[in-house]
């Protein structure tokens, strides 16, 4: 295998990379379905099909495992936001970002956020890749929020930070899971319903 810069990657290196990607994908699903506290290193190794000792060669701790999965999702978020058309209305980009996030949540690819006193939170705070990504994503979303407020597409009386955290909360909204468990709606319908409650509220519109 030859990379874009012309260097050749050995077969062993390719296999190691493929294994790490499989580990991260497994951890991602476990974090989404069980959360960090309930996830164990043993079940990660079992799901990937490797010995726990081999797993520790890639990631020396449970926190490192989870942080790698969170960084992977953060990179996906950065790539998605970068793919949105710069000429689009800020509100359209915000809607697209929230819908994308909820779509990942419904298919089990959005890790649950760690609790306030979790050791994972401390690991993420010291992870430069995660923090740099979080700052970049927050800055981009914050810019769209302020632009949408200036256009009266969003309530200008709300602090931008409150709107930002409200949008972030959709990534761990239990309403998504409750609606999916009911079996009454498709994933697309669930996203649409929660988007309406998020951006349009619950009040009936005057006739």
Count Cβ atoms within 10 A of the Cβ of residue 30 and give its class: 0-12 exposed, 13-18 middle, 19 or more buried: buried
Q: Is 77 helix (H, G, I), strand (E, B) or coil?
A: helix
Task: State pLDDT tens for residues 65-98.
Answer: 999 999 999 999 999 999 999 899 999 999 999 9
2-23 pLDDT, tens per residue?
A: 444 556 667 777 777 888 899 9
Give the percent of the chain with pLDDT over 70. Answer: 94
Decide if pLDDT at 124 tops 70: yes
The model's pTM: 0.86
CATH code for the structural domain at 11-199 = 1.10.357.10
Say whether 155 sits in a helix, a strand or coil: coil
What is the Cα Rg of the chain in Å?
19
The Cα 84–Cα 10 span in angstroms is 35
Summarised one tens digit per residue, pLDDT across range 37-71 is: 899 999 999 999 999 998 998 899 999 999 999 99
pLDDT surpasses 80 at 195: yes
């Amino acid at each position: 295998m030859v990379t874009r810069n012309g260097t050749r990657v050995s077969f062993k290196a390719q296999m190691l990379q493929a294994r790490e990607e499989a580990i991260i994908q497994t951890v991602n699903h476990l974090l989404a379905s069980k959360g960090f506290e309930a996830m164990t290193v043993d079940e990660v190794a079992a799901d990937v099909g490797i010995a726990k000792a081999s797993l520790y060669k890639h990631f020396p701790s449970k926190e490192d495992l989870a942080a790698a999965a969170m960084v992977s999702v953060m990179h996906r978020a950065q790539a998605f936001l970068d793919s949105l058309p710069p000429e689009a209305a800020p509100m359209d980009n915000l809607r697209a970002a929230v819908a994308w996030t909820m779509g990942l949540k419904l298919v089990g690819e959005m890790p649950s956020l760690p609790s306030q006193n979790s050791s994972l939170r401390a690991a993420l705070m010291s992870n430069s890749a995660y923090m740099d990504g979080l700052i970049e994503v927050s800055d981009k979303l914050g810019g769209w929020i302020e632009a949408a407020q200036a256009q009266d597409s969003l309530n200008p009386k709300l602090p931008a930070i409150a709107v930002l955290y409200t949008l972030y909360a959709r990534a761990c909204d239990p309403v998504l899971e409750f609606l999916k468990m009911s079996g009454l709606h498709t994933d697309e319908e669930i996203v649409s319903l929660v988007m309406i409650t998020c951006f349009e509220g619950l009040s009936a519109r005057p006739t």
